[in-house]
Amino acid sequence: MALFCTYLENSITYSDSDETRDVHTLVIGNWLRLASQLETVEINAWKYAGDDGLWCGTVADRYNIDSKLFTRYSTALTRFIYICYALEETYRFVSPRYIELIKKSDQKQSKKIRNCSIQSAFLIDKLNREELPDHFDHIIGNLVFYFDKYHQYHKPAMTGLNGATKKHPSYGLHLIRNLRNHVAHGLFPLMNEFIDPDDSPSISILVNLLHHASRSTTIYIQALIKKYCNEFESHDYKAIDDAYGEEFDNFLENCTMNYALSLHKQGVFSLHKWM
């Protein structure tokens, strides 16, 4: 998806009460690239440990386990944060499309949605099923499963659902927005494995939640980019379009706007190794 956004290189002018600026798919792609290139956020539980780990094997095991657990947790959390930056830029990218849609409708000005993240959820619900990425229900279903476990134990506040239920395509996007807010406001739990698993979710649940939230976020970005980008405008794409050769023809045949809906699937064509 990062490369796809780079080949698109679409831009649009976004305005709110605080700013007016151009929003670029290239920036969306850069955040996704950073998330995909992230390998490990290393946590060393021994760093500020005392001498107890040197003479007590149980304590040493605890430090080693904590290092592994919180490395997994920190890596998943950091990747999710990077992908959320891409999502927030996507919100801004499609916001003018929401304004255009509302102007064409008979919706009253007082009912207009101001928040660009909620605007995106509205736009998602306007998509036809064939405009959603492949395996959409399965991918979002995994997110909902782990979010329900997280919510069961931690009971975080939920905002802005606006009547959305699990039957709405935007439901997962609402969960992602709330999860992002929990992380940003310091409400997302920092747990260890030495608590009663019946009282609170383990790090395994939190890591799985972050993994599926990251994957689902990218799926929503794919859907919005596919719907609201017009054509490939980058210099690189145009250079390929002007080139001669079987590999270039194969690229142009496969790298279409519809490809946005199957970028997450393995296939014979891949943007990062098409040549």
Which pLDDT belongs to residue 59? 75
Which pLDDT belongs to residue 53? 66
For residue 124, what are the CA distances in angstroms to 27, 37, 38, 164, 273? 21, 28, 28, 12, 31
Which pLDDT belongs to residue 104? 82
CB 8 within 8 A of CB 233: yes
**Residue 44 phi/psi, 5° resolution?**
-115, 100
CB 215 within 8 A of CB 264: yes
CA 47, 50, 53, 58 torsion: positive or negative?
negative
Which pLDDT belongs to residue 221? 98
Which pLDDT belongs to residue 194? 54
Which pLDDT belongs to residue 258? 93
Which pLDDT belongs to residue 275? 65
Which pLDDT belongs to residue 219? 98
SS3 243: coil
> For residue 265, what is the DSSP state?
S
Counted domains in the chain: 1
Q: How far apart are CA 33 and CA 262, in angstroms?
A: 17
Residues of the chain with pLDDT under 70: 53, 106-110, 191-201, 274-275
Which pLDDT belongs to residue 222? 97
> For residue 245, what is the DSSP state?
S
CB 170 within 8 A of CB 118: no
Which pLDDT belongs to residue 261? 93
Which pLDDT belongs to residue 107? 64
CB 57 within 8 A of CB 6: no
Q: Both tokens of residue 1? A: 């998806």
Domain containing 255 equals: 2-273
Task: Quickly count: other Cβ atoms within 10 Å of residue 112's Cβ.
Answer: 13
